[in-house]
């Protein structure tokens, strides 16, 4: 059974159609990359799936709950790490994690366990007592992603997680994201095609609010007769590579 | 309900830490008003009654509270700009929990301001130490809520860059229209009416009268209390709506 299933999901802002009739099914444990140029509808899709904005039409079922009628029940089941680093700047790394864990209803003992577990996963041991504002951009982004894992969500949305990071920090973050594969369902949006190629189980391509393609990268290569996601993506969105999915 | 209270407690704790780790907040909320209280008393108290400690200490308390608008507003504006609020909203917290979290984190700071400035005033002028001082400390929390509500409102509407300018209007209002720095006897009727209908002078009078003694219960206590309460309710209601709608818009 799909952990995410959208049915004719649609969003219109005034007279601009941001997303048109999105039908998509994502399986549990999958790492699914949503690709598209600016304004394609990626962030709008994420916002609707996380309950930040209401759809104009259609519905989506996440973990068996409708985003239209049961969005409150999704709290704790889904989490998001947004494009912008979202941490408490004057709290230390440890305090940030403990604060977020307390918000999620964890006891003091559970908070300590969460801090220890995430420190191990993300390698925070050396920066645990540093204020977030004094960390490098890469570490701040790591912390931002780590906070999204505190609630142990079933579905994690990563909106351009490596945006603005240098190549080393990006690679390090890829390793961290890879280590999460299989433990939860991850929906990733990115402008870095090599990121989608390295990390994804399946890829979806959006253009002007419509889903052009959904499938494995090998299927994308076959459809476009290219052998890299970047080349195949360019072929597809520039209108040479087939019909909407 | 229990979970909601736990989230409010977590937000309150986080906000207090953020505030106390900002050196500027300590300067403006504590050190500067404290310096003004001591300095102005010794410089001017023999020149004009305005600066006698029974008037100066309550005035300084309310004046220092006006900076709560700046720092609560700044905290919210920064949280909004960094997407911090949005992420918390997705995962667990609800808009009213944020508002309580911000308000509750600033009330202890306001209480600390009142106690500090009254006690320092009492050390300089021991006649201030009485049961009335305790009442004045308690009632001074009402203007504090007004200024905190203003901060939540401005922080919801303004950006990180513009909040300083907007909050300074309120701080200037408290400073200039409270009548605490100059004798108001020579002012025109229009100006006096303006000062009496805006919340700044009633807030100062309310605390001054409680500390100095209430001669006419209605004029010295009930009337300024009602004016400050009306502004507090109005500004907090507006803050709740503004914050909620900004969260939805985000």
Residue among B101, B25, B20 at smallest CA distance from A131:
B20
Chain A residues within an 8 Å CB radius of B4:
none
Check residue A240 and give its pLDDT: 55
Residue B133 CA to residue B177 CA, distance in Å, equals: 24
Q: Mean pLDDT throughout A74-92?
A: 88
Check residue B85 and give its pLDDT: 81
Last residue of a domain, one of A152, A181, A208: A152
Q: Locate B48 and state its tokens.
A: 């004009």
What is the tens place of the pLDDT at every residue in A161-173? 888 788 888 888 8
**What CATH number did the domain enclosing A237 receive?**
3.40.50.300
Q: Is A163 on the interface with B (CB under 8 A)?
A: no
Residue B82 CA to residue A87 CA, distance in Å, equals: 8
C-alpha Rg value of chain B to the nearest Å:
18
User: A78-81 and A155-159 as β-strands: parallel, antiparallel, unpaired?
Assistant: parallel
Nearest C-alpha in B relative to A88: B84
Judgement on whether residues A146 and A159 belong to the same structural domain of the protein: no
Residue B168 CA to residue B70 CA, distance in Å, equals: 7
Q: How confident is the model at residue A214 (pLDDT cuts 50, 70, 90)?
A: very high
Task: Please return the burial class of A238, using the count of CB atoms within 10 Å of its CB with bins 0-12, 13-18 and 19+.
Answer: exposed
Judgement on whether residues A95 and A69 belong to the same structural domain of the protein: no
How many distinct structural domains can be found in chain A?
Answer: 2
Judgement on whether residues A103 and A197 belong to the same structural domain of the protein: no
Q: Is B91 on the interface with A (CB under 8 A)?
A: yes
Residue B70 CA to residue B25 CA, distance in Å, equals: 9
Judgement on whether residues A160 and A73 belong to the same structural domain of the protein: yes
**Contact call for residues A98 and A147 (beta carbons, < 8 A):** no
What is the tens place of the pLDDT at every residue in A48-61? 998 888 899 999 99
What is the tens place of the pLDDT at every residue in A98-113? 999 998 889 999 999 9
What is the tens place of the pLDDT at every residue in B180-236? 888 888 889 999 999 999 999 999 999 999 998 888 889 999 999 999 999 999 999
Q: Locate A3 and state its tokens.
A: 């952990």
Q: Locate A13 and state its tokens.
A: 């802002």
- State yes or no: pLDDT of B250 exceeds 80: no
- What are the distances in angstroms from CA B204 to CA B198, B210, B220? 11, 10, 11
Count CB neighbours of A61 within 10 A.
18
- Say what percent of chain A tops pLDDT 90: 60
Judgement on whether residues A169 and A205 belong to the same structural domain of the protein: yes
Backbone angles phi, psi at B105, to 5 degrees: -75, -25
B92 and A76: CB-CB below 8 Å? yes
Check residue B91 and give its pLDDT: 62
Tell me how far the alpha carbon of residue A146 is from its chain's centroid: 13
Angle, CA of B173, B179 and B181, to the nearest 5°: 95
- Average pLDDT score over chain A: 90
- State yes or no: pLDDT of A130 exceeds 80: yes
Question: Which is more confident, A96 or A38?
Answer: A96
- State yes or no: pLDDT of A10 exceeds 90: yes
A52 and B3: CB-CB below 8 Å? no
Q: Mean pLDDT throughout B34-55?
A: 94
What is the tens place of the pLDDT at every residue in B126-165? 999 999 999 999 999 999 999 999 999 999 999 999 999 9
ipTM of the complex: 0.82
Q: How confident is the model at residue A148 (pLDDT cuts 50, 70, 90)?
A: confident
H or E element in which residue A45 lies: helix A42-49
Check residue A245 and give its pLDDT: 54
Judgement on whether residues A12 and A123 belong to the same structural domain of the protein: no
Longest dimension (CA), chain B: 59
Judgement on whether residues A57 and A167 belong to the same structural domain of the protein: yes
Judgement on whether residues A125 and A184 belong to the same structural domain of the protein: no
Q: How confident is the model at residue A14 (pLDDT cuts 50, 70, 90)?
A: confident
- Say what percent of chain B tops pLDDT 90: 78
Check residue B19 and give its pLDDT: 93
What is the SS3 assignment for A164? coil
Last residue of a domain, one of A119, A152, A185: A152
Count CB neighbours of B249 within 10 A.
8
Check residue B247 and give its pLDDT: 76
Judgement on whether residues A91 and A203 belong to the same structural domain of the protein: no
Judgement on whether residues A132 and A164 belong to the same structural domain of the protein: no
Q: How confident is the model at residue B100 (pLDDT cuts 50, 70, 90)?
A: very high
Judgement on whether residues A97 and A170 belong to the same structural domain of the protein: no
Nearest C-alpha in B relative to A156: B91
Least Cα separation, residue B39 to chain A (angstroms): 33
Residue A158 CA to residue B236 CA, distance in Å, equals: 35
How many residue contacts between A and B have a Cβ separation below 8 Å?
78
- State yes or no: pLDDT of B86 exceeds 90: no
- State yes or no: pLDDT of B92 exceeds 70: no
What is the tens place of the pLDDT at every residue in B104-116? 999 999 999 999 9
Last residue of a domain, one of A130, A152, A174: A152
Q: Is A239 on the interface with B (CB under 8 A)?
A: no
Eight-class DSSP state of A73: G
Residue A114 CA to residue B9 CA, distance in Å, equals: 19
Chain B residues within an 8 Å CB radius of A104:
91-92
Check residue A168 and give its pLDDT: 84
| Residue of B77, B87, B88, B248 to mutate, testing the A interface (most A Cβ within 10 Å of its Cβ) | B87
Domain hosting A125: range is 86-152
Check residue A164 and give its pLDDT: 77
Judgement on whether residues A216 and A97 belong to the same structural domain of the protein: no
């Amino acid at each position: 059974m799909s952990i995410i299933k959208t049915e004719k999901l649609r969003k219109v802002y005034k007279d601009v159609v941001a997303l048109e009739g999105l039908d998509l099914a994502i399986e549990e444990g999958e790492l699914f990359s949503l690709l598209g140029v600016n304004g394609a509808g990626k962030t709008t899709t994420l916002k609707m799936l996380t309950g930040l904005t209401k759809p104009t039409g259609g519905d989506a079922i996440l973990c068996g709950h409708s985003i239209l009628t049961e969005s409150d029940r999704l709290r704790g089941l889904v989490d998001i790490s947004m494009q912008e680093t979202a941490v408490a700047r004057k709290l230390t790394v440890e305090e940030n994690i403990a604060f977020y864990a307390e918000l999620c209803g964890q006891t003091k003992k559970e908070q300590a366990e969460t801090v220890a577990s995430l420190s191990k996963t993300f390698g925070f041991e050396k920066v645990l007592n540093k204020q977030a504002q004094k960390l490098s951009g890469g570490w701040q982004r790591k912390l931002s992603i780590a906070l999204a894992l505190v609630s142990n969500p079933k579905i994690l949305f990563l909106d351009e997680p490596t945006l603005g990071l240098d190549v080393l920090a990006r690679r390090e973050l890829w390793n961290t994201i890879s280590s999460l594969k299989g433990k939860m369902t991850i929906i990733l949006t990115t402008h870095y095609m090599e990121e989608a190629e390295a990390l994804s189980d399946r890829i979806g391509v959006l253009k002007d609010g419509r889903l052009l393609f959904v499938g494995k990268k090998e299927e994308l290569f076959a459809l476009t007769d290219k052998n890299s996601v970047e080349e195949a993506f360019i072929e597809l969105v520039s209108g040479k590579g087939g019909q909407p999915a | 309900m229990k979970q909601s209270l736990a989230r409010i407690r977590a937000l309150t704790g986080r906000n207090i830490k953020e505030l106390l780790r900002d050196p500027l907040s300590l300067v403006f909320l504590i050190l500067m008003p404290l310096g003004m209280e001591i300095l102005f008393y010794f410089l001017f108290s023999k020149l004009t009654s305005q600066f006698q400690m029974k008037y100066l200490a309550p005035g300084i308390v309310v004046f220092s509270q006006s900076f709560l608008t700046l720092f609560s507003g700044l905290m919210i504006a920064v949280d909004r700009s960094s997407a911090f609020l949005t992420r918390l909203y997705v995962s667990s917290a609800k808009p009213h929990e944020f508002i309580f979290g911000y308000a509750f984190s600033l009330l202890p700071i306001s209480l600390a301001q009142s106690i500090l400035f009254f006690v320092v005033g009492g050390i300089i002028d021991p006649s201030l130490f009485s049961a009335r001082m305790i009442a004045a400390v308690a009632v001074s929390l009402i203007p504090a809520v007004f200024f905190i509500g203003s901060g939540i409102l401005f922080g919801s509407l303004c950006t990180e860059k513009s909040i300083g300018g907007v909050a300074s209007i309120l701080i200037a209002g408290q400073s200039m229209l409270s009548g605490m720095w100059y004798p108001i006897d020579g002012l025109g009727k229009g100006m006096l009416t303006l000062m009496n209908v805006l919340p700044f002078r009633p807030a100062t009078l309310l605390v001054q009268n409680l500390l100095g003694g209430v001669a006419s219960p209605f004029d010295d206590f009930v009337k300024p209390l009602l004016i400050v309460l009306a502004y507090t309710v109005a500004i907090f209601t507006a803050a709740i709506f503004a914050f909620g709608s900004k969260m939805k818009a985000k």
